[in-house]
Chain A
Amino acid sequence: MAAISRDEVANLARLARISMSDAELDHLAGEMDVILGAVARVQEVASADVAPTSHPLAVNNVTREDVVTTSLTPAQALSGAPASAEQRFKVPQILGEE
């Protein structure tokens, strides 16, 4: 049985905000199945008594003082924007929450 279905891959693509054609989904579902089969090996040694390491550094409490530094100019901030208007980033209509 496949570790991951085509529908699951489609849902992941939706979560990751990537449009995918049917052909892409088919191809990727197959690849994902193979890759997941290989990486699932980590479960063999990941027993409950092993603490997770999310970061190689053992450093804590790195902070900066609450001091204002120079911002970009609006022109610099907007320099890479695909579209802008009224000193703001312009985007197509948003279909989200209000």
Chain B
Amino acid sequence: MSIRDNAWQMSEALHNKEISAVELANDHFDQISKVDKDVHAFLYLDKEGALAQAKEVDKKRAAGEKLSPLAGVPLALKDVMTQRDIPTTCGSKILENWRPPYDSTVVTKLKDAGVVILGKTNMDEFAMGSSTENSAFGPTHNPWDLSRIPGGSGGGSAASLAAFEAPLAIGTDTGGSIRQPAAVTGTVGVKPTYGGVSRYGLVAFSSSLDQAGPCARTVLDTALLHQVIAGYDPKDSTSINQAVPDVVAAAKKLDVKGMKIGIVKQLSGDGYQKGVSNKFNDAIAELVKLGAEIVEVSCPNFEYALAAYYLIAPSECSSNLARFDSIRFGLRVGDDGIKSAEEVMNLTRQAGFGREVKRRIILGTYALSSGYYDAYYGSAQKVRTLIKQDFDNAFTKCDVLVSPTAPTTAFKIGEKSEDPLAMYLNDIATIPVNMAGIGGMSLPCGLAEEDNLPVGFQIMAPAMKDDRMYLVGGALEAALLSKWGKPILDFAPILAGSK
């Protein structure tokens, strides 16, 4: 048993009592203590809580109780999810030291399944960013090359997987925050259909786009985690009241013969790094070998997706982040007994929010203000309709759509931090999925020849057909594994001090 094993292997080892949950948790804390000073994937470690949960699972297993498949398997939780009495910062100064008095539904489900939550992972402040450089607590480093970004906003979760600090992680994806970090760290990340996983306790960035999802090192591991966290939640009015598709069975099926796979014309070409395009094409060739039928589809309005996203997400965030006002929770600045509540609120928000968050709040405030609403927010909503129509049309011609997940491999820390528009382009291929509320997966499809860094392959499926992503992803992953002879992360440099 090694920390480099996959979650499903750990699950079997636990089941067969080859290792205890306590030992497994300790092994991971050990790895974290060795590598996280360099990676900085975690913002908070809950050793006490994790070991208590592990002990409980071991006790139940010893007593012969029937346990969930992931009982005792460790997990890293993105710091945007509330966990009762555990600091939840969203990577922001404004929430430093806030300990929520309640569990998010995802955390409740994880706890009920016996999953061992190791701690909270780093992220771009309030999930706004594509590099984790916008964290108020310093950036996370990509385990493939510590001078590079791990993607964002969920860079901490993805890096923790690539650094073998955890076999499972929770991410959230508003415009690509699960899939793009997965792509640049050589891991797997899934954004389920909007409404598939409860948003209760997910600190909102953009409510109509946010979606939590599973992250892991293999497609099957993400499926197992998907099964645990998905499902209807009466606390979330936008949760879908339908059975969760059998994603685990789909991930195990490894058969795509006769499936129609659509390549989105607009998500390729100019702006995509050469190595990214090459690896994507290689993966397509594998799918053809597996018997899939490849079609090209056109989604002309995807061209406007990025612009619409950068109106809708900031608009919603300007409202969602209004509650950070120094009254009921979080930071308070400037309360000297003389200043008014309003002044203290203004100073707190000045000091508590980082540059990108302020930029988006101001942009959203503008887009919603009277006189500009129709031209900006209103127009963006219309683009959203057009994008949905493009997907609907495309899915009449194929079962799933595919594209590279991100236009480039991991870039250098600091390379794009002064150019917001260049940074926003990282999400160009992932955003349409959020706009339409459908599912998207990223899995590794090789290393770009220019820089030997991982490339992500995106699979998009119609709403509530999440099993199709797992079906295609599982089959492609198996084909690539036999081609490479070993998992992609085995090509990554071994981190100093690592096991």
Contact = CB atoms under 8 A, between A and B. Distances in A.
A and B touch in the complex (CB under 8 A): yes
Most chain-A Cβ atoms within 10 A of its Cβ — which of B331, B341, B353? B341
Interface residues of B, number: 69
Interface in A50-65: 50-57, 59, 62, 64
Contacts of B99: 79-80
Interface stretch (B66-74, B120-128, B234-242): B234-242
Contacts of B383: 42, 45-46
Contacts of A55: 208, 238, 437
Contact of B384 (A32, A53, A76): A53
A12 B307 contact: no
Contact of A56 (B307, B329, B436): B436
Interface residues of A, number: 54
A57 B195 contact: yes
Nearest to A49: B382
Interface string A18-37: 11100010001001101110
Nearest to B301: A45
B271 interface: no
B98 interface: yes
A76 B318 CA distance: 27
Given A19-B347, A53-B388, A57-B437, A94 B342 contact: yes
A44 B134 CA distance: 32
Given A9-B362, A16-B362, A57 B194 contact: yes
Nearest to B337: A92
Given A19-B350, A42-B307, A46-B383, A64 B363 contact: no
A38 interface: yes
Nearest to B463: A56
A34 B342 CA distance: 30
A39 B421 CA distance: 10
Contacts of B381: 52-54
5 contacts: A16-B362, A42-B307, A52-B378, A52-B381, A56-B194
